Amino acid sequence: MDKKVLIKEIETELNGFEIYSLFKDYSYSFFLDSGMDYEKLGKYSFIGFDPFIVFKSKNDDIEIIQRGEIERLKGNPFFELKTLLSKYDMSYKTELPFVGGAVGYFGYDLCHHVERLQRTAVDDVNIPDSFFGLYDGVIIIEHKRNKVFVASIGIKDKADIVVDEIAKKIEAGKNKRLDIKIDYEENRKKFRSNFTKEGYIEALEKLKNYIKEGDIYQANLTQRFECDIDVSPYELYGKLRAINPAPFASFIDFGEGHIVSSSPERFIKITDRVIETRPIKGTRPRGKTPEEDKRNREELLISEKDKAELLMIVDLERNDLGRVSKTGTVKVTELFHLEEYATVYHLVSTVVGEMKDDHEIIDVIKATFPGGSITGAPKIRSMEIIDELEPTQRNIYTGSIGYIGFNGDTDLNIVIRTIVCKDNKAYFQVGGGIVWDSDPEMEYEETLHKAKALMEALNS
């Protein structure tokens, strides 16, 4: 028997960011913010706060916080999260894709709970490897029809009480209009990298030697920048979403810091047990003139190097999905699709499959995590080389942010174009896929193209 979900439409003139501003100071608030492509990828945004359970992990230490009580466990975070979510597994159907469930992130370093990997990179930021809140009482913004809904399943309290309380808060804040000011000042911030330019190129040459020796076909090499910040993470996010809107953007208060993300890439979407992944490979900067823009776009579309790089990852993703999908259901539905963003162009592919009957959502995530587009091929050896060559742990970067509904429907991004704010410092990473014929200078410059929007937001 399906669980009944209460959904109420709310009349408001506030936009998504303005609605979120009403709830930003509540504990563990989140804003999954689709800032573009309302016809396809960015149809909905979601807002929530005050979860009834919080799940955090660091290495094999796990905390589950409920009603102020903390339960501490040792174990594999994937298994313990799967166990927790199984207590709230329920069947319901709605026209809205997410009405309640777990929202948060899987950090890249959870890869050590998927494969046996050496760990030598330094953890100098020290945030949880994973964080999820379980939310009942979600605000849903449907962009195409410009509608706002509040939904409750009735776990935290009676559904009508949860919905009415949220609706009253939105109504009370009806005049809260926001005007984000962006005053960009070039190079005002001092950005510090965990590589020198020479050091990054030296690491890149070592990586290319591994390719020459046949260890791997490609791998993703990144550098991390940090700087001091003197604005709130909330203000920073307002600027970033204005400068660089993205379909899988988000702002999350995880209690020990904030995630400020404008990711363009989907990792895994699951709807009615159909899995979809959308790897990105291939980047060109936006031009300063329409002619330069057109030239960069056409150059990416005809680039054999970029197409070969994307094909390698498509094959890897087909293999990953094949482990958790029914035989014969894995298909490539989109190949070499050009997507346009504020500062760059990307090539994207889409791979789909149908979940095996004996698999659950966390099984699919664990089998495919981390995404192949930000590790390399073969995946395990690429991750070993990443740990060897990158001096600091990636933490959340190249992990996944998103939701897992109580009914199993899931949407998770790849954490790129993302800033971690903690203790008045901002940290963000940028990188690219390296193959045998990669040009070191061009690859280094590509990382700076990808950093442009983040640096603009931090400098504004």
Q: Tell me, what's the pLDDT at 186?
A: 58
User: What confidence score (pLDDT) does residue 414 get?
Assistant: 95
Here the tokens at position 209 are 């030697």
Average pLDDT of the segment spanning 362-380: 92
Q: Is the pLDDT of residue 237 over 90?
A: yes
pLDDT at position 391, please?
Answer: 96
What are residue 142's phi and psi, to 5 degrees? -95, 110
Comparing CA positions, the residue from 30, 234, 218, 62 lying closest to residue 138 is 30
* pLDDT at residue 185 greater than cutoff 70: no
> Which residues are catalytic, by number?
265, 281
The pLDDT tens digits of the residues spanning 413-424 come to 999 999 999 999
Per-residue confidence band for 183, with pLDDT thresholds at 50, 70 and 90: low
Q: pLDDT digits over 189-232, tens only? A: 789 999 999 999 999 999 999 999 999 999 999 999 999 998 99
CA atoms within 13 A on the CB side of 135: 32
Residue 25: what pLDDT?
95
pLDDT at residue 283 in the model: 82
- How many C-beta atoms lie closer than 10 Å to residue 116's C-beta? 7
Whether pLDDT at 404 is above 90: yes
In angstroms, rounded to a whole number, what is the distance separating the alpha carbons of residues 62 and 76? 9
The pLDDT value given to residue 177? 66
Q: What is the pLDDT of residue 302?
A: 86
Where in the chain are the domains?
6-175+189-459
Residue 80: the pLDDT is 97
Spatial distance between the Cα atoms of 49 and 19, rounded to a whole number of angstroms? 12
Query: Of 306, 252, 290, nearest to 442 (Cα)?
Result: 306
Answer whether the bond into residue 370 is a cis peptide, omega within 30°.
yes
Write down the pLDDT at residue 290. Answer: 87
Residue 187 clears pLDDT 60, i.e. is over it: no
Mean per-residue pLDDT of the chain: 92
pLDDT per position as a tens digit, 8-33: 999 999 999 999 999 999 999 999 99
Instruction: Render the burial of 140-160: b for 16+ CB within 10 Å, e for the rest.
Output: bbbbeeeebbbbbbbbbeebe
Q: Specify the higher pLDDT residue, 57 or 293.
A: 57
pTM: 0.92
1 confidence band (pLDDT: 50, 70, 90): very low
Tell me which fold the domain 6-175+189-459 belongs to: Anthranilate synthase (3.60.120)
Which range is least confidently modeled, 178-192, 318-332, 386-400?
A: 178-192
Q: What was the pLDDT predicted at 179? A: 67
- Give tens-digit pLDDT for 266-301: 999 999 999 999 888 878 888 888 888 888 888 888
